[in-house]
Structure 1
Amino acid sequence: MTKAKNEAAESRIPIPQEAFDWYDEYAHGDIDRRTFLTRIASLSIAGLSVGVIGNALLPDYAKAEQVSFNDPAIKATYEEFASPEGHGTGGGYLVIPSSLSADQKAPAVLVVHENRGLNPYIKDVARRLASQGFIAFAPDALFPLGGYPGNDDDGRAMQRSLDKQKIENDFIAAARWLHSHDQTTNKLGVVGFCFGGYISNFLAATLPDVISAAVPFYGTPAKGELQARVKGPLLLHFGEKDKRVNATWPEYEKVLKDNGAEYSAHVYAQAQHGFHNDSTSRYSPKDAELAWQRTLAFFNSHLR
């Protein structure tokens, strides 16, 4: 079977919900790869092998490139920033619209990765934003360890080895660096996915006077004592099947209401955690596109 036919076959696999739930456990470090694949092997799905099912669930980042790294509409560079309260120095992927001259400014968006470092999918999200006229910066929490290692298993282990508070301080420093960049306006947004969704909520709470718009995709809220500082505006995206994250939403929503914060939330029917990530079978094209168009409209409304 050709690679194209293999991919087409995998995309049609009727994966049961427990497999998605096991992948969520694996992706968040609750079980290791061997345990994940052993559980997958216990399934009997139309005689398909554990390899086919596993490959359908595990990321294939070649699928995630919607905007080429050498697209003439954007210019991408790697930049460093000072992070004295974090790991000393941080680094990330800066993408600027090519149409922006040196003396022009544009609103900026901080793009925050999942729990495994700056992988190709997140870099592509930054390019997508730059192609829409925003200056996008995607920091890599793994910069102090040499950066994203090229595979998610090692990246996940590396991120777990770092001090969480220092990681948070690195993202605070990244937000301040981007906000003060010579080519950015005083309007800064943040969008993040999974761990990045948490960081988006965290920055909305920690830097309410710096963050002009926050978009957490399936992210948990900041710690309770910080939540009271959130003013918004926030645009929150949830997958209906994401029980772990969704369980935190009712209490968080109550806090937002008590704060008088400006927010809107969308739950996408039948969607999984990670439904925006187009590199795995959790990807829901229709929901991802709708959530992305809502995100762009939100940023255009609050940052321009």
Structure 2
Amino acid sequence: MSDLRDRAIQIYDAFTHEHRDRRTLLRQMAVLAGSVAAAETLIAGIAASPAAAAITQPDDKRLKTRKGAHILPDGKNINGYFAVRADLAHKAGAVMVIHENRGLNAHIEDITRRIALEGFLAFAPDFLSDQGGTPADENAARDLIAKVDYDSIVAEALGVIGMLKRIGGANGKVGTVGFCWGGGLVDRVAVAAGGALAAAVPYYGPAPEPAEAVKVKAAMLLHYAGKDTRVNSTGAPWAAALEAAGKDVQAYTYEGVDHAFNNDTSVERYNAPAATLAWQRTIAFFHAHLDT
């Protein structure tokens, strides 16, 4: 069963990250599982479920939240989700939360609220804003993500950093965290941002070329999944290059867990012990680098 599960996740990851069609996914899963019905059950367990319960609630009275357009320093609008503690009485560091290739969905909004509850100003931009915003269908969102201009997205992310430096209640220090596609974007934003970014936390994100490590100024906390060979083939050289360049970097590999182990909306991927430990490290890291 373990081998079947691992193979199923590999097939599903090829579907999500190599943009294969769903018909191919279903055919391969049916061969693996023995029937179309069993394949559908297997796919449902691996895929993120939009119906999964959130750890925090959208109407949590401890928080002030707002979803809508925000103005970047260059005058451009970007949609996003903002959260802050209602009782926050001091200037705080800000954290940009970067979504997976499913776009800005309920899970990412949940993570944004979790970060806000820890005492940060938290903002999750929708990097599909120019395409009309994140669609409800996650497959449609993935198709749109595959077509975005990556340089333009990095530029938008730098604009978000500029906005968060000056937003009301901010202390001027900005960090970022991202997952999967968003983890890869975190690394690239760290390369492009220079000293504007104080701290960066990519979760299992495909990494840049190691030669880019010398450009990073932010402190880096890297999270990788032990069974995620696709990402780890780039992550290990990236972590080594950051260390060789004398950067402030910590890298952790969580053995025996899959890509997207932090995503609690995916039954088959989520690993509570690894996710909890990575989250504790992430919050402590942000406090160390973003608090005044």
TM-score (norm 2): 0.92
- The structure 1 residue matched to 2:47, chosen from 39, 53, 58, is 58
- The structure 1 residue matched to 2:70, chosen from 70, 80, 92, is 80
Q: CA deviation at 1:71?
A: 0.2
Q: Higher helix proportion, which one? A: 2
Q: How many residues align?
A: 289
Q: Does 1:182 align with 2:168?
A: yes
Q: CA deviation at 1:297?
A: 1.0
- The structure 2 residue matched to 1:44, chosen from 15, 30, 33, is 33
3-state SS, counterpart of residue 177 of structure 2: strand
- The structure 1 residue matched to 2:57, chosen from 57, 60, 68, is 68
More off after superposition, 281-290 vs 156-165 = 156-165
- What aligned pairs does 1:1-304 form with structure 2 within 5 A after superposition? 15-44=4-33, 49-78=38-67, 79-82=69-72, 84=74, 88-101=76-89, 104-223=90-209, 226-280=212-266, 281-304=268-291
Cα pair distance change 1:47/1:149, threshold 3 Å: closer
CA-atom RMSD in angstroms: 2.2
Q: 1:6 maps to which residue?
A: none
Q: CA deviation at 1:100?
A: 2.2
Cα pair distance change 1:60/1:180, threshold 3 Å: same
Deviation string 1:9-45 (CA, Å, 9 cap, x unpaired) is xxx9985211111111112143122211111111237
Q: Which runs of 5+ in 2 are unaligned?
A: none
Q: 1:7 maps to which residue?
A: none
Deviation string 1:116-158 (CA, Å, 9 cap, x unpaired) is 2111111110000011111100000111122111121011111
The list of structure 1 runs, each at least 4 consecutive aligned residues, that deviate by more than 6 angstroms after superposition, is 45-48
TM-score (norm 1): 0.89
More off after superposition, 16-25 vs 47-56 = 47-56
More off after superposition, 54-63 vs 238-247 = 54-63
Cα pair distance change 1:62/1:83, threshold 3 Å: farther
For residues 53 and 95 of structure 2, what CA distance do their matches in structure 1 show?
20
For residues 119 and 177 of structure 1, what CA distance do their matches in structure 2 show?
22
Indicate conservation of the 8 Å contact 2:208/2:234, yes or no.
no
Identity of aligned residues (%): 34
3-state SS, counterpart of residue 154 of structure 2: helix
Indicate conservation of the 8 Å contact 1:126/1:137, yes or no.
yes
